[in-house]
Amino acid sequence: MKQSRWIDGKKELLFGPFAGFSTKFLKNGSVMDLPKSIELENIKPMIFAGLNNIQLTRYLIQQVRQTPEDRLAALREYVPYAKMEDWELLDAGQRVQVIKKDEDQGGVLEFGTEVVVAEDGTIAALLGASPGASTAVTIMLGIVPKCFKESSQTATWKNRLQEMVPSYRRFLRDSDELVIASRVRTHQALGLSANTMAL
């Protein structure tokens, strides 16, 4: 995948991603994060999740073993004249894969996104696949009433949310006018040309 991005005022071309492996749960975490998380009750699900996904496991091992020359060869399929000295390998992000117990399969990998909220609403965590811009707002709007049960029901909060997200608690499929208004607002916010707005 190739993407053009402005980074520190310069237009750069990104290529990848290449899969990696780390025992850290956060980019700045400890290499002991994974070993410390292993307990008697989760060893079985971890083993079965690996066995049930042999192809994925093999793919990840191949990715981790790639040399700089291997990555350059993959890049040259899209940019034939790419030179090693023109490219820099960077860590793009860190994600912890969720493994769940399963009565039938022992353990399964979860590829979706799951939000876990404490009963008292004092903390919430997003587990699983990294959400993009298309899902981030929906996820946050779902967390608000769980973490702020009383406040989110007041007129002040409802009005403020409606102001920030005019389509909040409304279905775009029910109103052509709302669809058009939403697209116009989005184009204005992003500074896009009206010519790119297909209705």
Question: Considering 65, 80, 102, which residue would you say is the last residue of a domain?
Answer: 102
17/60 same-domain check: yes
pLDDT at residue 184 is higher than 80: yes
Rounded to an integer, what distance in angstroms lies between the CA atom of residue 131 and that of residue 139?
A: 9
**Domain assignment of residue 123, given as a range:** 112-165
180/159 same-domain check: no
Angle (deg, nearest 10), helices 54-64 and 40-51: 90
Rounded to an integer, what distance in angstroms lies between the CA atom of residue 141 and that of residue 165?
A: 10
Question: Considering 102, 121, 150, which residue would you say is the last residue of a domain?
Answer: 102
176/158 same-domain check: no
State if pTM tops 0.85. no
CA of residue 16 relative to chain centroid, distance: 15
- Indicate the number of domains in the chain: 3
pLDDT band, residue 160 (cuts 50/70/90): very high
pLDDT band, residue 187 (cuts 50/70/90): confident
- Tell me the mean pLDDT in the region 7-22: 81
pLDDT at residue 5 is higher than 80: no
Q: What is the predicted pLDDT for the residue at 32?
A: 93
Q: Do 148 and 161 meet the contact criterion of CB atoms below 8 Å apart?
A: no
157/191 same-domain check: no
37/90 same-domain check: yes
92/120 same-domain check: no
pLDDT at residue 148 is higher than 80: yes
Residues 31-77 have pLDDT tens digits of 898 899 899 988 899 888 888 888 888 888 888 899 999 999 988 98
